Amino acid sequence: MTETTALKVDGLYKVFGKHAESAVRKLEEGATRDSLDGSPTAAVIDTSFEVQRGEIFVVMGLSGSGKSTLIRMLNGLHEATAGTVEIEGEQVTGATTKLLRDIRRKRMSMVFQHFALLPHRTVLDNVAYGLEIQGMPRAEREAKAREITQVVGLAGWEDKHPSELSGGMQQRVGLARALAADTEVLLMDEAFSALDPLIRREMQEQLLELQATLGKTIVFITHDLNEAMFLGDRIAVMRDGRIVQIGTPEEILTDPANDYVEQFVQDVDRTRVLTAESVMRKPRAVVHPTSGPHGALKTMRDEQLSGVYVVNRNRTLVGWVSDRDCLDLVRKGVKDLKSIVRADHGAVSNDTALSELFIPSLEYSLALGVVDDKNRLVGVIPRVTLLATLGGEPGAAAQAIPDRDPIPTHVVDQALEAAVHSGSIKIEEVN
Amino acid sequence: MGFRLPFGDWVETGKDWIENNLDWLLTLLGDIWNGLYDTANWVFTSPPAIVVIVVLALAAFVFRGWRFGLGTVVGLTFIIGVDQWNNAMDTISLVIVSAFLALLVAIPLGIWATRNKTVSNIVKPIMDFLQTMPAFVYLIPAIAFFGIGVAPGIFATVLFSLAPGVRLTELGIRSVDKEVVEAGQAFGASPRRILRQIQLPLAMPSIMAGVNQVIMLSLSMVVIAGMVGAGGLGGDVARAVSALDIAIGAEAGISVVILAIILDRFTGAFGNKRAKSLMDRLFHRLPGGGDSTDESTDVADTDPNKGEDRATMQGALT
**What are the tens digits of pLDDT across the range A349-388?**
888 888 888 888 887 778 888 888 888 888 888 888 888 8
Residue-wise pLDDT for B168-191, tens only, equals 999 999 999 999 999 999 999 999
| Chain B residues whose beta carbon lies within 8 Å of the beta carbon of residue A125 | none
Mean pLDDT of chain A: 85
Distance of CA B65 to the CA centre of its chain: 22
Q: Which of A109, A116, A159 sits opposite B179 (nearest CB)?
A: A116
With 60 as the cut, is the pLDDT of residue B298 above it? no
Q: CA of B268 to nearest chain A CA: how many angstroms apart?
A: 19
* Helix, strand, or coil (residue B230): coil
Give pLDDT, residue B303: 39
Residue-wise pLDDT for A86-135, tens only, equals 998 889 998 899 999 999 999 999 999 999 999 999 999 999 999 999 99
Q: CA of B292 to nearest chain A CA: how many angstroms apart?
A: 12
| Chain B residues whose beta carbon lies within 8 Å of the beta carbon of residue A186 | none
| A77·B190 Cβ contact <8 A | no
| Chain A residues whose beta carbon lies within 8 Å of the beta carbon of residue B194 | none
Report the Cα–Cα distance between both ends of chain A, in Å, rounded. 63
| Buried-exposed string A30-63: b where 16+ CB fall within 10 A, e elsewhere | ebebeebeeebbbbbbbbebbbebebbbbbbbee
With 60 as the cut, is the pLDDT of residue B165 above it? yes
Question: For the ranges A202-211, A324-333, B25-34, B110-119, which has the lowest average pLDDT?
Answer: A324-333
Report the Cα–Cα distance between both ends of chain B, in Å, rounded. 72
- Side chain identity at residue A396, one-letter code: A
- What is the percent of chain B where pLDDT is above 70? 85
With 50 as the cut, is the pLDDT of residue B288 above it? no
Q: Is A118 on the interface with B (CB under 8 A)?
A: yes
Q: Is A311 on the interface with B (CB under 8 A)?
A: no
Tell me how far CA of residue A175 lies from CA of A107, B78, B142, in angstroms.
Answer: 16, 58, 58
DSSP A136: -
Residue-wise pLDDT for A18-47, tens only, equals 888 888 888 887 777 777 766 678 889 999
Length of chain B: 318
CA dist B237 and B217 (Å) reads: 17
| A164·B298 Cβ contact <8 A | yes
CA dist A183 and B288 (Å) reads: 34
Distance of CA A211 to the CA centre of its chain: 13
Residue-wise pLDDT for B111-129, tens only, equals 999 999 999 999 999 999 9
ipTM attached to this prediction: 0.71
A72 to chain B: nearest residue by CA? B186
Q: Which of B179, B187, B189 sits opposite A114 (nearest CB)?
A: B179
Residue, of A239 and B299, whose pLDDT is higher: A239
H or E segment to which residue A235 belongs: strand A234-239
Tally C-beta pairs within 8 A across A and B: 64
Beta strands, E only, B184-269: none
Structural domains of chain B, ranges and CATH numbers in brackets: 8-46+82-283 (1.10.3720.10)
A127 to chain B: nearest residue by CA? B187
| A113·B190 Cβ contact <8 A | no
Q: Is A181 on the interface with B (CB under 8 A)?
A: yes
| Chain B residues whose beta carbon lies within 8 Å of the beta carbon of residue A102 | 188
Backbone phi and psi for residue B172, each to the nearest 5 degrees, phi listed first: -60, -45
With 80 as the cut, is the pLDDT of residue B31 above it? yes
CA dist B273 and B301 (Å) reads: 10
Q: CA of B100 to nearest chain A CA: how many angstroms apart?
A: 26
Residue, of B280 and A147, whose pLDDT is higher: A147
CA dist A314 and B191 (Å) reads: 66
B301 to chain A: nearest residue by CA? A163
A97 to chain B: nearest residue by CA? B190
With 70 as the cut, is the pLDDT of residue A280 above it? yes
With 60 as the cut, is the pLDDT of residue B167 above it? yes
Give pLDDT, residue B65: 85
B197 to chain A: nearest residue by CA? A118
CA dist A342 and A324 (Å) reads: 13
Q: Which of A112, A130, A187 sits opposite B179 (nearest CB)?
A: A112
Band (A396; pLDDT cuts 50, 70, 90): low
B198 to chain A: nearest residue by CA? A118
With 60 as the cut, is the pLDDT of residue B242 above it? yes
Tell me how far CA of residue A353 lies from CA of A268, A302, A370, in angstroms.
Answer: 14, 32, 12
Give pLDDT, residue B299: 36
- The residue of B176, B182, B187, B297 whose CB has the most chain A CBs within 10 angstroms, and thus the best one to mutate to test that interface, is B187
Tell me how far CA of residue A295 lies from CA of A43, A288, A302, A329, B4, in angstroms.
Answer: 67, 9, 11, 12, 120
